[in-house]
Amino acid sequence: MMQVREAMSSQVLVVGPEHTLRQAARMMSARGVGSAVVIDPESEGVGIMTERDVLKAIGAGLDCDTERTGAHLTWDVVYAGPEWTVAEAAAAMARGGFRHLVVLDGGEVAGVISVRDIMRVWAESQVAAAG
């Protein structure tokens, strides 16, 4: 059974809570990723900001040049372990209704696994099985 460490992206975009939404959106767009991990040096927490968070802020008429990422992210992140199976990660996403999980290894951010990652490895496994 494939583990999260094999499917996740270890190239994580990290932004600070003081970045503006536009800055974060630009970085996400440039990297081709749908989320950014937000590490607040003032707290122990790790948050995640997704495309959906940016969309909600714009839809609410907020100014992306003044709004900070720290006010528009999820702090109660559900974390995955690198040794989780991909199926366990998919089940956690389905339960929580989200598309990204932060992967923590020994308290450090090791990566992010997204629905896109899960679809990619599932499709690859189907092609290999049909082989």
How far CA 105 is from CA of 56, 60, 70, 111, in Å, comes to 30, 36, 23, 9
* Residue 113 vs residues 66, 67, 71, 124: alpha-carbon distances, Å: 29, 26, 23, 16
Give me the pLDDT at residue 45, please. Answer: 77
CA distances from 98 to 17, 41, 47, 50, 61 (A): 21, 25, 14, 10, 23
What domain count does the chain have?
A: 1
How sure is the predictor about 87, in pLDDT bands with cuts at 50, 70 and 90?
very high
The tokens of 61 are what? 């008429």
Q: Which residue has the tokens 């990660």?
A: 89
Q: For residue 1, what pLDDT is reported?
A: 82
Which pLDDT value is given to residue 113? 96
Which amino acid type is present at position 73?
Answer: L
Domain that holds residue 10: 4-129
pLDDT digits (tens, 9 = 90+) for 40-85: 877 767 889 999 999 999 999 999 999 999 899 877 788 999 999 9
Q: State the virtual CA torsion across 82, 84, 87, 90 in degrees, nearest 10.
A: -60
* Between 40 and 89, residue with greater pLDDT: 89
Euclidean distance between CA atoms 92 and 73, whole angstroms: 19
pTM value is 0.86
Cα distances (Å, whole numbers) of residue 32 to 22, 24, 62: 15, 12, 23
For residue 50, what is the domain's CATH number? 3.10.580.10
CA distance linking residue 89 with residue 1, whole number of Å: 12
